Chain A
Amino acid sequence: MASVPSVARTGPRRMTEGSRPHPVTNTEDRTLMRTRNATFARSGRRTASLAAIGLAAAALLSACSSSSSSSTTTTTTAPGGTLAGNNAAYLAADLKAPGGSLNASGSTFVQPFFSAAFYKYTGLNQALQVNYQGVGSGAGITAFQSGTVAFAASDVPMAAADLAKMPANSGPVVQVPDILGGVAVAYNLPGVSTRIKLDGPTLAGIFDGTITTWNASQITALNPGVNLPSHAITPEVRADSSGTTYIFTDYLKSADPTTWTLGTSKTIAWPSSAVQTPKNSGVASSILSTPYSIGYVELSYAIQNKMSYAAVKNSAGTYVVPSPTTVAADADQKTGVSSTDFSIVNQAGTSSYPIAGYSWAILLQKQTSATTGAQVVKVLDWTTHSGGGQDLASGLHYVPLPPAVQNQNRTQLLTVTGPSGQALLTK
């Protein structure tokens, strides 16, 4: 018989994803619990697909956990998505990181989440300030290579070419996903109140400049009955090196490699008809102020600013509206992500939103300063785990990291050492 803590009593049934050897301590309040419950409830589909990893995690749990936990193969728990033991202990220790200040920079995809999470972290641990500047994934990686930031954030992990540019004796680089989000295709179409539908080839045509007006045949074919104007389309794209661009162009290429020829990269040679603006916030602002424009922004920006965004056709042929649920559905299809295999666009499943991706936090495995290193790993551990920063994800229209990914993160962060080899992440 599984001794399942009766978390189910406080929330929807779906909550109990495996035994949760996770006592409700007084470091957690009801709000956190409710948020976590609601989050896991929403990820119904995810639990079913995390089987393989979940079994491995369960094995790990039963080996390490001290409280009474059973395997996850019970009828009331779903396979796979189990948070490793002692999460609370780690989180409590995370909030006791040494005082000081950290500089970090990078992706604007994750910036709304990081802003809120680090603001909350500093509220709980007033000695440590985490100063995150959203400058674009490319600039974040460059800053990390120059050693001017303690950690960087990028929606595209550092590839071999990027790693080759690291200083000679900096050692290996640890890259962990920090959030899961979607890229919305937002547009500004005065007079059209129905949500428009777009697919990969049509989007490719819009963003490489071949489709120039809103009432072009490819667009009207997908949107029968919608009165599209004959106005010219203004594509709104990123001027800076952007991970969001990478995710978007990754989808375009994956949806139809024959129509999208400009490549998959953080920087694209956009056509001259496109208006280029730095940062997700700049593109969002530009779309909002330019009638008849269309662009790609992270979902949080689109929802928070009440932008109109399109329903995009996924690989199953369904037109899916982006939302945390549909982004999670897409991510559930591929849970084994790593820094070398990170793309989750255009996955199978009828409710998967095809333009989704993880954002990654990047840090050195061998930290040069024990204090800074401890600060970095603890902040990142707190931010990437439920009970910590991940609880803020849904409120900002992101998707919290699946528990398997969270477990993987902790394992990775545990490998980070100080200059004399000491482990920095403690509980």
Chain B
Amino acid sequence: MTAVLDPPADPVVERRRAVQAAAASSLGRRKVASTVALGICWLFLAIAIIPLVAVIAYVIAKGLPAWNRDFFTHSTVPEGYPGGGVWNAIVGTAVITAVATAVAVPVGLTCGLFLAESDGRAAATLRFTADVMTGIPSIIVGIFGYIAIVRNFGGYSGFAGAFAIGFIMLPVITRAGETAFRGVPRSLNEAALALGARRSTVARKVVVPTALPGVITGVLLAVARGLGETAPLLLTIFGNQYLQWNPAKSMEALPILIYNYSNQPYADLVQVAWGAALLLMTVVLVLSIGSRVLAAYLRKERR
């Protein structure tokens, strides 16, 4: 009977055994390293959440005491006078944002439609321009607003502010619109065209309604961004201690009120700044969260 000989040394098997041996011996160390590293990732997650919680907590804690009936119904008063509020800033912010949205949405969505429908060089240039415009620092938009509107039309006004805010909102709406419109299945488009509809009908009755969730989300987010912009307004609307509904005149706005009242020695003015910050933050957060909720809801509806 011949003895069972060991099989000849197979380099592949040898290699595999060596690797497995190395892996087995290092397993303990590797597990520890993994636990530590993942622990750091968890820690970083906590660190990332902390500032948001801290900011919101402080703003609520310091801003809520400022919220009373006068706060929402009276305009600003000089320091030391009682009964002041931020109603003029609320109106100013609302009017400026409304005007900016009213111009930016039609133009932006139409451009978005243009981009979604064409793929030529013009469209590529426009897309690139829109992308670049979203990255322009807002202070430069502010100085542009000053020389474009304030200088040429003889003074500060809500329209100048709306121009600057609209300039910031426009590329955001355009790109969000394009993304939403491109998301409409081609089959729907082609079916409508095959039925003999004109392109404008297709756009009006097929593309826009189908893309509406994405469009609304994009618009809401653009509005939320426009509400938070301060630098462009600082240079274009001048501020106003009185209630002003007319956008052709200088107006007050919540962001610049916060900016001006934040570095004050008078405690009552700082209190108003916190209250205004709470108001602005609440509106912007509601819009942001609301747009997501709406998008999720509408997406579910479609399914």
A residues near B (Cβ < 8 Å) are 101, 103, 105, 112, 115-116, 119, 122, 129, 131-133, 146-148, 277, 279, 281-282, 284-286, 288, 301, 304-305, 307
With A285-B265, A286-B263: A101-B156 Cβ-Cβ less than 8 Å: no
What are 23 A-B pairs at a CB distance below 8 A?
A: A101-B244, A105-B238, A115-B78, A116-B81, A119-B77, A119-B241, A129-B241, A129-B242, A131-B241, A133-B239, A148-B238, A281-B263, A282-B263, A282-B264, A284-B264, A284-B265, A285-B263, A288-B265, A301-B265, A304-B79, A304-B80, A304-B265, A305-B265
Bound-state Cα–Cα, A307 to B238, Å: 30
Give the residue among A122, A132, A277, A285 with the most B Cβ atoms within 10 A. A285
Task: Mark the stretch among B56-64, B105-113, B147-155, B179-187 that contacts chain A.
Answer: B147-155
Chain B residue numbers with a CB within 8 Å of A133 are 238-239
A-B pairs, 3 with minimum CB distance: A115-B78, A284-B265, A305-B265
**Using Cβ atoms and an 8 Å threshold, which residues of chain A touch B242?**
101, 122, 129, 131
Which residues of B, 199-221, contact A by the 8 Å Cβ criterion?
none
Query: Whole-angstrom distance from the CB of A179 to the nearest CB of chain B?
Result: 15
Pairwise interchain contact B250-A103, C-beta atoms closer than 8 A: yes
Are A101 and B265 neighbours in the complex by a CB distance under 8 Å?
A: no
Closest A residue by C-beta to B241: A131
Contacting pair B81 A147 (CB below 8 A): no
Q: Which residues of B sit under 8 angstroms from A119, Cβ to Cβ?
A: 77-78, 81, 241
Instruction: Establish whether residues B81 and A304, one from each chain, have CB atoms under 8 Å apart when the complex forms.
Output: no
**Chain B: number of interface residues, binned into ranges:** 20 to 34
CB distance from B275 to the nearest CB of A (A): 18
Q: Does the CB pair B266–A304 fall under 8 Å?
A: yes
Name the A residues within 8 Å of B78 (CB-CB): 112, 115-116, 119
Complex Cα distance, B241 from A367, in Å, reads 24
Of chain A, the residue at the smallest CB distance from B246 is: A101
Write out the residue numbers on chain B whose beta carbons fall within 8 Å of the beta carbon of A131.
Answer: 238-242, 250
Contact, CB under 8 Å: B80 / A103: no
Task: Indicate if B74 sits at the interface (CB-CB under 8 A).
Answer: no
The distance from the CB of B91 to the nearest CB of chain A, in whole angstroms, is 14
Nearest Cβ distance between residue B183 and chain A, in whole angstroms? 46
A115 cross-chain contacts in B, Cβ below 8 A: 78-79, 241
Is B225 engaged at the interface, CB distance under 8 Å to the other chain? Answer: no
Which residue of B has the minimal Cβ distance to A113? B78
Beyond A115-B241, A284-B265, 11 additional contacts (C-beta under 8 Å) are A101-B244, A103-B155, A103-B250, A112-B79, A116-B78, A116-B81, A131-B238, A281-B263, A285-B264, A305-B266, A307-B265
- What is the CA–CA distance of A147 and B266 in the complex, to the nearest angstrom? 31
Closest to A302 in B: B265
